[in-house]
Amino acid sequence: MSETAKIIVEGKEYEFPIIVGTEGEKAIDISKLRDLTGHITLDIGFKNTGSTKSAITFLDGEEGILHHRGYSIEDLAEHASFLEVSYLLLYGKLPNATEYREFENAIREHTLANEGLQAMFNAFPTGSHPMGQLSSMVAALGLYYPKSLNPHRSEEAISRTIIRLMAKMPTICAMIYKKRNGHPTIYPKNSLDYVTNYLNMTFGQVTMSEYEPDPVLVSAMNKLLIFLADHEQNCSASTVRVVGSSQSNLYSSISAGISALWGPLHGGANQEVLEMLEQIQNDGGDVQKWINKAKDKNDSFRLMGFGHRVYKNFDPRAKIIKKACDDVLEKLGVNDPVLDIAKQLEEAALTDPYFIERKLFPNVDFYSGIIYRAMGFPTDFFTVLFSMGRLPGWISQWQEMRKEKQPIARPRQIYTGETIRPFVAMKDRI
C-alpha cells in the first residue's frame, strides 16, 4: 500500500499520495489540493516545492552528490568529454563510438553563424554587457530559422534545432569575446573538437598561422563545462521550463534562461569571487585583515566562493576542479598578485578551524574564477562561459518538459492588496 499524507483543513481530513523518486526522495503530491479544499500552498521562492518530475539530474546537497542520468559527476569529469556529457543529458545515455561520431559530425555541419548576426553585433553599444549580447543573439537565431517557431514540427526538425543551437553557441560566445577586444571574428575550424574549436575561435588571431591550445587548458575547460552542464531545478533551468511550457520556441526559451543566469545571485558567483580578490588587492593585499573581517559577525563583508547554498558539507565538483586549477596555474606560470591572494584564502579555508567548523569550503565558483582569469578571460565574461556549459542541461530540461506534455506554468498567489473600492472621479479626488 502506497504512503499518504493527511492534511486537515477547516476540520476536514484529506489524503494526498506520497511520491518516491528513484533515489528515495519523497514528495507530497498536492496536485488536487485546490480542487478538493479550495486552498493553495504558499512557498515563497519555491524552496519546498517540486515543480516537476525529472530523470536528468539527481542532487543531494547534504551528502555532496551530483549525478547526471545515473552517472556520478566525478566519473564524468574524469573520463568523458563535454560533448559526451551533452549527449548523455540530451538523449539519456552515453554514446557509443558510432553515435558520438554522428553527433559530433552533425554539430560540425552547423557551427557557422549567419553573417547577419555580425551586423547585430556592430549595432550593440560599446561596452554593453556580454550576457545581454548573448541573450539577444540566441533569441535572434529564431529569426533566421522561422520554422523552429512551430511547436508541432517533427521530432527530426526539433533535433535539428537542438544540434544547431549546440553548434552555434561556442561560435557566438567567441564572437562576443572578439568584438569586446576589437578583433576580427575567427571562423570555426571543424577539424577541431568542440572545446578546442571554441578556444581557437576565442584566442586565435587572423595573424596567426595556427593556434594550438595547451592540452592542460583544453582539459580544464572540458571539466569546467561538464561541472556546469546541469544542476537540477535551479533558477535558469526553471525559467527555461516555464517559458517553454507556453510552447515558446527553443531559442527564446534558452535566451530567457541566459537572462536568468545573468543575475548576480545565480550565475555571477565566480565573477564575484574575482571582484572580491581585486578588492583585497586594491586594499593593499593584506589577506589576514579580510579573513578577520569575514569572521567578524558585525562586519558586512562575506567571502565569496566559499560554502554553497545547496551543498551543505562539500561541493563534489570542487575537489576535481582544484586539481585542474593547480595544473593550469603551474602550466601557465601566471604571475598575478590577485591569484596569489586566492591561494592564501584557499589555504586559510582548508586549515583554519573557523572555516572548517562552518563548512566554508572553496567551491567550484572559487576555482573556476581563478582558472578563467589565468586563461585571460575578463570577469564579466565568466557568465557567458557558464551559459555555454549549461546549454545542454537547459535544452534537456526544455525537451523533457515538452515530451512529458507538461501544462503551461501558472503559479497561484495570495492577494494582499486593497479590497474592492468605489471609483472616484478625478475632480473629487483629494
Catalytic residues: 308, 365
Q: Where are the alpha helices (DSSP H) in 310-363?
A: 316-332, 337-351, 353-357
For residue 282 the three cell numbers come to 586594491
Q: Taking Cα atoms as reference points, which of 149, 123, 148 lies closest to residue 136?
A: 123
How many residues in total does the chain contain?
430
d(CA 212, CA 196): 8
d(CA 241, CA 256): 10
Give residue 281's identity as a one-letter amino acid code: Q
CB atoms within 10 A of CB 385: 25
Residue 179's contacts (CB-CB under 8 Å, 6 or more residues apart) are 121, 124, 133
d(CA 278, CA 72): 35
Answer for the pair 205, 186: CB distance below 8 angstroms, yes or no: yes
Sign, CA torsion 275/260/70/249: negative
d(CA 409, CA 186): 41
User: What order of strands is seen across the sheet that includes strand 4-9?
Assistant: 4-9, 12-20, 26-28
Region of 26 on the Ramachandran plot (φ > 0 left; ψ -120 to 50 alpha; else beta): beta
d(CA 180, CA 355): 38
Strands 26-28 and 57-60: unpaired
Beta bridge partners of 65: 60
CB atoms within 10 A of CB 58: 18
Beta bridge partners of 42: none
d(CA 205, CA 185): 9
